Amino acid sequence: MFSPSSPHRVDFSKNSWVLFSDPQVGVAGIDEQTAKKDAMDVDIEIYDYAQDARAQIDKQTLGFVKFIIDKKTKVIVGVEIVSEDASSLIGEASLIVANKMTAMDVMSAIHPHPTLTESFGKLAQQIFFKSMMKRG
């Protein structure tokens, strides 16, 4: 039974949802607008499905995966997905946010090719290579 004095609190920063539209929209964690409203210092990185092998095979290249990354901690605080299969992808996005993963954490996981979940690994690689270019 819920009690107002209960020490348990709802953490909406780990919430996820899907809009069953065409294409579908899924969000895990906080979205870009919330991050800006809360004056968070974030990086926004996007992987466009136009370059994705599985999306090309399925002829459904409209969409993207977006990471909202806390610049200070490098933790992915939000994931936005626009895709015909966002509802199937939001589970991994929720795990990324709930476990406070960084792009390096995501990149270290194996994402089979060609699948739409590979987009998480590809976006993480994109972020990694971009950071290497800044160092050089």
pLDDT tens sequence for the chain (136 residues): 555 666 777 777 889 999 999 999 999 999 989 998 999 999 999 999 999 999 999 999 999 999 999 999 999 999 999 999 999 999 999 999 999 999 999 999 999 999 999 999 999 999 999 988 887 6
Residue from 36, 37, 71, 113 carrying the catalytic annotation: 113
Say whether 111 is catalytic: no
Write down the domain spans for the chain.
16-135
pLDDT at 2 (0 to 100): 54
Q: What is the DSSP letter of 23?
A: S
Fold adopted by 16-135:
Enolase-like; domain 1 (3.30.390)
CB 92 within 8 A of CB 120: yes
Predicted pLDDT at 4: 64
Ramachandran angles phi, psi of 27, nearest 5°: -135, 135
